[in-house]
């Protein structure tokens, strides 16, 4: 396939590439079913960045001309299968109009995992939700009814962007119990902590800014920081959390705009930042004047012993912006989270919040206020810890029995995930589709690294969402998928051996 890119043109390279591929697809030169070269290889062949190829492929995917699948690569779509209702009509060349940042959001590996997870016959280890059997549905029904009975129209109107004032007060009290010095003015209520992180990124990060992240880290955070144009500085994580000494060394030469960390029961690794590293991190940040963004959704979900205090509680210098959510300790559907930060930050974030969605649902805020104010959360957390601990141990035991040594999982002291390394050279991107075939959804490690290649022998397994029987059956299916891949490797090795 001959492709020529003109580096002197004002047309971006990725659009040149997309346009040339588009013409070849429409002319039939690349017929349906053709597998396009892997992004990395095509980038190397053309001497361009991988991200340029990614952008071009995504533009073609958005136009419905190609589609990408984990394990199958990127394939030219059969026009008969391009659904008519999906075809862009008429005069607007939509794919050319999309801002490139939006185009760069698409993570086909993650999307494949999510599509598999949504199949009714599939057991999902791919989600991040607490045990649904614990959702306090009766309490929620009663609280919502009481709220509308007592407050009526007031909870159906607009609400201050900063949040429902009584909830801000209750969150401040709740946080003070964790040792965080704050008042209601340091609290911003957000529609889930994904929105919280987005607001922080929008308010603080400008294109080209450097952001220090853990490696691995939350996949959604990588997407957000990339979308606002950040360059990423990955700092490795070991069993005691971020290797702060490596951050210190990096800070000698580079100055990130912020440091993003999940210090407690980290997603995906499960690691918890040790107390001495917490103090070291805060000291570095305060001396350099760099904000620390503490993403802390799992703190209350400890199964062995309570974790060290949150960074926000140890912070003496006002450097920490702390994010929390009820999605992991109650349920995700209410879309309620909060940010605790110095007041000038809250004010700025509230302006951005007003821009992106005006305010957060006041009826939901009232219900969470009642959960905090009436001390309904502590007994609920007790129950969650008990149920989650049992599920963690059950999945670990089932995998030990079924995976036949092909999977090495750390025992996480809290949180929602097992982080597992694949043995025998098995790659996550082969395991994900094979597991889906066997009826179990898992998340490939690639999505959690700045350099996806570093995650190719890892997978993340959630142990809290499936009920006990599903955990056992899911482990069996995963075991079958691992066996199938091992056999395929063995056959391949035989086939490529000289015949004797």
Closest to its own copies by CB, 47 or 91:
91
Closest to its own copies by CB, 257 or 388:
257
Minimum distance from CB of 398 to its own copies (Å)? 23
Quote the CA–CA distance of 328 and 473 in Å, as a whole number: 24
Minimum distance from CB of 240 to its own copies (Å)? 25
Closest to its own copies by CB, 345 or 428:
345
Cα-based distances in Å from 292 to 286, 289, 310, 317: 9, 9, 12, 11
Minimum distance from CB of 422 to its own copies (Å)? 27
Quote the CA–CA distance of 453 and 427 in Å, as a whole number: 10
Minimum distance from CB of 442 to its own copies (Å)? 17
Closest to its own copies by CB, 155 or 418:
155
Closest to its own copies by CB, 118 or 453:
118
Q: How many other C-beta atoms can be found within 10 angstroms of the C-beta atom of residue 46?
A: 16
DSSP state of 302: B
Q: Which helix (H) or strand (E) holds 193?
A: helix 193-204
Closest to its own copies by CB, 282 or 481:
282
Instruction: Of 326, 348, 329, give the one whose Cα is nearest residue 338.
Output: 326
Closest to its own copies by CB, 334 or 449:
334
Residue 492 has φ and ψ, to the nearest 5°, of -60, -45
Q: How many other C-beta atoms can be found within 10 angstroms of the C-beta atom of residue 487?
A: 10
Closest to its own copies by CB, 126 or 271:
126
Closest to its own copies by CB, 182 or 413:
182
Closest to its own copies by CB, 91 or 405:
91
Minimum distance from CB of 389 to its own copies (Å)? 20
Helix (H, G, I), strand (E, B) or coil at 140: helix
Closest to its own copies by CB, 158 or 177:
158
Q: Which helix (H) or strand (E) holds 35?
A: strand 35-36
Closest to its own copies by CB, 32 or 332:
332
Residues 6+ apart with CB under 8 A from 20: 3, 4
Residues 6+ apart with CB under 8 A from 299: 178, 264, 265, 307, 310, 324
Cα-based distances in Å from 150 to 159, 227, 289, 314: 17, 42, 46, 39
Residues 6+ apart with CB under 8 A from 441: 113, 114, 116, 117, 119, 122, 123, 124, 125, 126, 435
Minimum distance from CB of 157 to its own copies (Å)? 6
Minimum distance from CB of 481 to its own copies (Å)? 25
Asked if 192 and 364 count as a contact pair (C-beta separation under 8 A), the reply is no
Residue 237's region, left for phi above 0, alpha for psi from -120 to 50, else beta, is beta
Quote the CA–CA distance of 364 and 345 in Å, as a whole number: 24
Asked if 442 and 395 count as a contact pair (C-beta separation under 8 A), the reply is no
> In this structure, what token pair is assigned to residue 204?
């603080």
Instruction: Of 45, 38, 62, give the one whose Cα is nearest residue 5.
Output: 45
Minimum distance from CB of 133 to its own copies (Å)? 8
Minimum distance from CB of 186 to its own copies (Å)? 8
Minimum distance from CB of 314 to its own copies (Å)? 13
Minimum distance from CB of 332 to its own copies (Å)? 5
Quote the CA–CA distance of 128 and 110 in Å, as a whole number: 13
């Amino acid at each position: 396939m001959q492709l020529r890119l003109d580096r002197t043109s004002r047309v971006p390279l990725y659009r040149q590439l997309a346009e040339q591929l588009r013409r070849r697809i429409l002319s039939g030169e690349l017929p349906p079913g053709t597998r396009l070269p892997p992004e990395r290889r095509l980038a190397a062949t053309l001497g361009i960045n991988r991200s340029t190829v990614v952008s071009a492929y995504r533009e073609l995917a958005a136009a419905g001309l190609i589609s990408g699948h984990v394990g199958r690569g990127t394939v030219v779509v059969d026009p008969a299968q391009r659904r008519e209702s999906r075809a862009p009509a008429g005069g607007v060349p939509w794919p050319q109009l999309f801002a490139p940042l939006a185009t760069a959001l698409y993570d086909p590996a993650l999307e494949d995992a999510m599509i598999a997870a949504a199949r009714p016959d599939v057991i999902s280890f791919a989600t991040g939700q607490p045990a649904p059997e614990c959702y306090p549905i009766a309490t929620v029904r009663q609280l919502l009814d009481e709220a509308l009975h007592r407050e009526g129209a007031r909870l159906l109107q607009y609400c201050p962007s900063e949040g429902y004032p009584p909830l801000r007060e209750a969150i401040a009290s709740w946080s003070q119990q964790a040792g965080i010095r704050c008042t209601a003015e340091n609290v911003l209520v957000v529609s889930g902590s994904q929105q919280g992180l987005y607001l922080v990124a929008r308010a603080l990060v400008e294109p080209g800014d450097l952001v220090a992240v853990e490696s691995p880290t939350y996949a959604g955070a990588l997407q957000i920081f990339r979308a606002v144009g950040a360059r990423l500085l990955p700092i490795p994580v070991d069993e005691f959390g971020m290797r702060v000494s490596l951050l210190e060394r990096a800070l000698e030469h580079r100055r990130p705009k912020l440091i993003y960390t999940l210090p407690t029961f980290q997603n995906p690794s499960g690691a918890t930042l040790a107390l001495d590293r917490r103090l070291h991190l805060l000291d570095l940040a305060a001396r350099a004047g760099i904000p620390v963004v503490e993403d802390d959704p799992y703190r209350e979900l400890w199964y062995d012993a309570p974790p060290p205090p949150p960074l926000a509680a140890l912070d003496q210098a006002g450097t920490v912006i702390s994010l929390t959510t009820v999605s992991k300790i109650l349920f995700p559907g209410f879309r309620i989270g909060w940010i605790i930060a110095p007041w000038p930050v809250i004010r700025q974030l509230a302006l951005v919040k007003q821009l992106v969605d005006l305010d957060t649902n006041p009826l939901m805020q009232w219900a969470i206020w009642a959960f905090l104010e009436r001390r309904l959360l502590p007994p609920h957390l007790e129950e969650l810890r008990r149920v989650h601990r049992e599920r963690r141990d059950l999945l670990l035991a089932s995998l030990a029995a079924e995976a036949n040594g092909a999977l090495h999982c750390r025992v996480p002291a809290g949180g929602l995930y097992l982080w597992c390394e694949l043995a025998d050279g098995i790659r996550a991107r082969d395991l994900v589709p094979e597991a889906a075939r066997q009826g179990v959804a898992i998340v490939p490690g690639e999505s959690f690294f700045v350099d996806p290649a570093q995650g190719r022998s890892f997978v993340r397994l959630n142990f809290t969402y499936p009920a006990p029987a599903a955990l056992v059956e899911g482990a069996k299916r995963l075991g079958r998928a691992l066996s199938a891949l091992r056999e395929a490797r063995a056959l391949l090795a035989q086939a490529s051996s000289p015949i004797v």
